[in-house]
Structure formats: structure tokens, C-alpha cells
Amino acid sequence: MVNHEGATPTAQIAANAKRGLELRARFKRGGTEVGVARAHQLAARDPLNAADIKSMFSYFARHEVDKLARARIWGDESNPSAGYIAWMLWGGDEGKAWAARQHAALAED
């Protein structure tokens, strides 16, 4: 089972989520209300429960394909894609790796 200490997002995940919120405010695109709520949770480094971790793991599994979009260059913050902004709201690549580790730990219980 994930304990509260182990389920606290890292400082880098929090920074990515804050950046996602900044990009969304600036460009008026990217993410849903759920993604924005998750970004606020991650930015505050609130401990995540098992349901939150499963949700993050599922988000990243569904949206990895967004990196293949050709309309904009992934990671270009001068004109970011909606998918990139959403990805950052969920903690970015660090959030994906962290959620995978936490999800694996849940599976072991």
C-alpha cells in the first residue's frame, strides 16, 4: 500500500504542474477541469491516495500518444500544444515515472 510519505509528489512534479497552470492561463488551452484540479494537488505536494495514483497512471497511459502530434513541437513553450500543457498539468515526464513507480507498489500489495 502507498503510504502518505511515498505518495507525496516530488518538487519537480510540483514545478511541472505549476508550469502547466501558467501555460494554460497564458495560452487558454490544454487540460480539463480534472487536470487543473490534479495540477493544484500536485503543485501543493498534497499526498495522493491510491485512487489518485491510479488516475495519474491511467492518464499517462492514454495520453503518451499526444507526444506524436505534429501541429506543434512537443515541449515548445512559445506555442505549446494543448496536449503538452495537459501533460505538464499532470506532472510531466517526472509525474509519469513517479506514478508508474507508485502504481507498481500498489500492485505489490
Q: How many domains, in total, are found in the chain?
A: 1
Choose from 44-53, 68-77, 100-109 the range with maximum mean pLDDT: 44-53
What is the overall mean pLDDT for the chain? Answer: 91
Does residue 4 belong to any structural domain of this protein? Answer: no
Does residue 5 belong to any structural domain of this protein? Answer: no
Does residue 50 belong to any structural domain of this protein? Answer: yes
Which pLDDT score, from 0 to 100, does residue 6 have? 56
Query: pLDDT over 90 for what percent of the chain?
Result: 76
Which pLDDT score, from 0 to 100, does residue 13 have? 98
Task: Give the residue among 42, 37, 29 at the shortest CA–CA distance from 85.
Answer: 29
pTM, entire model: 0.91
Q: What is the mean pLDDT of residues 38-58?
A: 96
